[in-house]
Amino acid sequence: MRLAVPAALLALVATAAIAHGPTPQKVHQSVTIAAKPEAVWKVVGDFAGIGTWHPDVAKAEGTDGNTSGGRRKVTLKAGGTLDESLDEWNAQGRTYSYRLSDADLKALPVSSYSATLTVSPDGEGSKVEWLGRFYRGDTGNEPPEELSDAAGKAAMVRYFGDGLKGLKAKVEGEAAAGTMPDGRAKP
């Protein structure tokens, strides 16, 4: 009888360890852009302006501007929408943090996420970092493959990576074309 209790307890602990549910996943993407941080921030610093530089975005609509509690609804070209709210926006530090308000598994196979985007000096140019923390689309113990940690991570890496490539192309393209990020001709 004495061995039966520890064996049963060990089996219970092992089962609990396997069936723990989702763990937070993280994504960290960055890009170097050949433009001053102020020029990059002019483009990326408008929370609702993501549609002007992210190639996966069909349109973005915002309310309440660049203030805590500001919101944006991002419609993706591939389908689905991201309803996001701004937690913090710091123009001086050239950074903002936001979170997904309502999951749309057609848009991204994640149930929730929070993200921070930061622009900082890097030599003669800028470094833009986009960090995200998220949970997979199905938070049960045995999610289908399309809503797993791996699917969520792949989608977030692709979304952040495409966005940073689009931002780089927009800012550097405007610099090469002789225009400012707001479309005005360079002096």
pLDDT tens, position by position, 61-74: 999 888 888 999 99
Query: Does some domain include residue 184?
Result: no
Give the residue with greater pLDDT, 12 vs 142: 142
Long-range contact set of residues 176-181: C-beta below 8 Å, sequence gap at least 24: 180/39, 180/42, 181/35, 181/39, 181/40, 181/42, 181/43
Query: Does some domain include residue 186?
Result: no
Angle between helices 149-177 and 37-44 (to 10 degrees): 120
Task: State how far the Cα of 176 lies from the Cα of 162, in Å rounded to an integer.
Answer: 21
Q: Is pLDDT at 10 greater than 70 in this prediction?
A: no
Q: pLDDT > 90: what percent of the chain?
A: 78
Query: Does some domain include residue 93?
Result: yes
CB burial class (10 A; 0-12, 13-18, 19+) of residue 131?
A: middle
Query: Does some domain include residue 58?
Result: yes
Query: Does some domain include residue 3?
Result: no
- Domain residues for the domain of 88 are 21-177
Q: What is the mean pLDDT of the segment spanning 101-128? A: 97
Task: State how far the Cα of 77 lies from the Cα of 166, in Å rounded to an integer.
Answer: 14
* Predicted pLDDT of residue 33: 98
* Predicted pLDDT of residue 177: 65
* Predicted pLDDT of residue 100: 97
Query: Does some domain include residue 138?
Result: yes
Per-residue model confidence as pLDDT tens digits over 15-39:
444 556 789 999 999 999 999 999 9
Query: Does some domain include residue 14?
Result: no
Query: Does some domain include residue 13?
Result: no
Q: How many folded domains does the chain comprise?
A: 1
* C-alpha closest to that of 149 among 22, 20, 27: 22
* Predicted pLDDT of residue 66: 86
The CATH code of the domain that includes 120 is 3.30.530.20
Q: pTM of the entire structure?
A: 0.82
Q: What is the mean pLDDT of the segment spanning 166-170? A: 98
Task: Tell me what the pLDDT averaged over the chain comes to.
Answer: 88
The answer to whether the CB of 33 falls within 8 A of the CB of 125 is yes
